[in-house]
Amino acid sequence: MTNWILGEKFTEKYSHLSGVKALWETKWKFPATKGVYPFHDGKYEDFAPIFEKLIADNVNDGYSDKYTEYFLPTAERLTDEALSAQGSDRAKAADLFKRACAVYRISRFPSVDAGSGLKRKIYETQKQVYLRGASLWDTPLKEVIIPHTAAEGEDEKEIPLYVRLPAGASKDKKVPVVLLITGLDGHRPDNSARTDEFTARGWATVITEIPGTADCPAARRDPKSPDRLFTAILDWINRQPNFDSQKILAWGLSAGGYYAIRVAHTHHTRLLGSIGQGAGTHLFLSREWLDQVDNHEYPFILSHAYVLKYGYKDWEDLKQNAQKDFSLVESGIVDGPSCRLLLVNGTWDGLMPIEDSILLFSHGRPKEARFYEKMLHMGYPPANESIYPWMESVMATAS
């Protein structure tokens, strides 16, 4: 029995899990008024009427098509307004496209593979709308499809990336690169603010999704598929005339944090550093942790999304096998050399235990960390105050 830092909260069922009404009123409503996670580019006035209808109709299953359908009229209206505005006011149109994408994002939450296929269709629409809006930015973002040159087994043959360059990037002015690794339910179109931060610092952005989610071509059941994925992506970055391949940082978000830690070791000679934010490494896939994870802070039950991501037969199959298949400790990966590695999280993370970051200090080379006392998953809201300065300092050391 692990002595979890969560203490009594480890076995507590969090209040927002009693239904959409509780989710909205106790977890999402106040952040939405501030325009922060999980709505990112969305606005409170876009979401409040939707949740009022969901509550009134007692729709509580976020994995269902019915839940998704409530968001579509608002997303479609915002898209139409953006299309109407783009000829006369590019800035207004870009903002409206972002708002539409925020609504689409929550509509296909928490897994694009749930339900009948509607959520997957909505994700395709979200990407189209997002790229339309991103083409209006002063420094546009675009999709690039690259060959998966390291593909094996059940890997697919192409890797879709989002790429954004800062102003002035050229073969004569190569720019540093941030490889942004997305999470379980946040995908490529959900990172506008982060790419703004990178662009403002003169860094390029390359965004990839993780195995078992969205458009990632890496085989979900093969523990080594992410290593091949990152080999292909880093090889491609190395060939780009505008990129400084000697200045690459990786940043993994939530479930992507696991992959940021993994790539920090498997590709340590090719990265300046890596950030595992809200990351799991070993205990997050233990039966003891997984037996409680559906009661913690994820907006809906997490187990269904996990089964879809990892590709196990069912939840029991996952609890029986996932840790031995994917643990970075049992595989010995974290005992090998690594690049500089920053670990960031809240000590009360109920999705990825803070113990998974702490145990890394007993493996491999020395690590760096910032843990936020009594904060939840990812250490938000204050986490970025540590991450961006760290990135700046690491980039500066390579100048």
CA distance linking residue 370 with residue 260, whole number of Å = 16
> What is the DSSP code string of 161-183?
EEEE--TT-BTTB-EEEEEEE--
Q: For the chain, how big is the Rg over CA atoms in Å?
A: 20
Task: Report residue 296 CA to chain centroid gap.
Answer: 19
Q: Answer for the pair 338, 268: CB distance below 8 angstroms, yes or no.
A: yes
Active site residue 254: yes
Give the side-chain half-sphere CA count within 13 A for 316.
0
Is the torsion defined by CA of 21, 120, 191, 352 positive or negative?
positive
Instruction: Please pick, among 107, 111, 192, 254, the residue that the annotation labels catalytic.
Output: 254
Q: Is 270 helix (H, G, I), strand (E, B) or coil?
A: helix
Q: In terms of Cα–Cα distance, which of 128, 117, 143 is closest to 63?
A: 117
Instruction: Please pick, among 107, 265, 377, 386, the residue that the annotation labels catalytic.
Output: 377
Active site residue 377: yes
Q: Answer for the pair 274, 342: CB distance below 8 angstroms, yes or no.
A: yes
Q: Tokens 């006011």, residue?
A: 89
Active site residue 349: yes
Q: Token digits for 373?
A: 């006392």
CA distance linking residue 264 with residue 397, whole number of Å = 17
Q: In terms of Cα–Cα distance, which of 59, 38, 41 is closest to 50?
A: 59
Q: In terms of Cα–Cα distance, which of 292, 345, 297 is closest to 28?
A: 297
Instruction: Please pick, among 349, 356, 357, 386, the residue that the annotation labels catalytic.
Output: 349
Task: Report residue 138 CA to chain centroid gap.
Answer: 24
CA distance linking residue 191 with residue 200, whole number of Å = 14
Q: Is 170 buried (19+), middle (13-18) or exposed (0-12) by CB count in 10 A?
A: exposed
Amino acid at 279: A
Q: Is 280 helix (H, G, I), strand (E, B) or coil?
A: coil
What residues act catalytically? 254, 349, 377
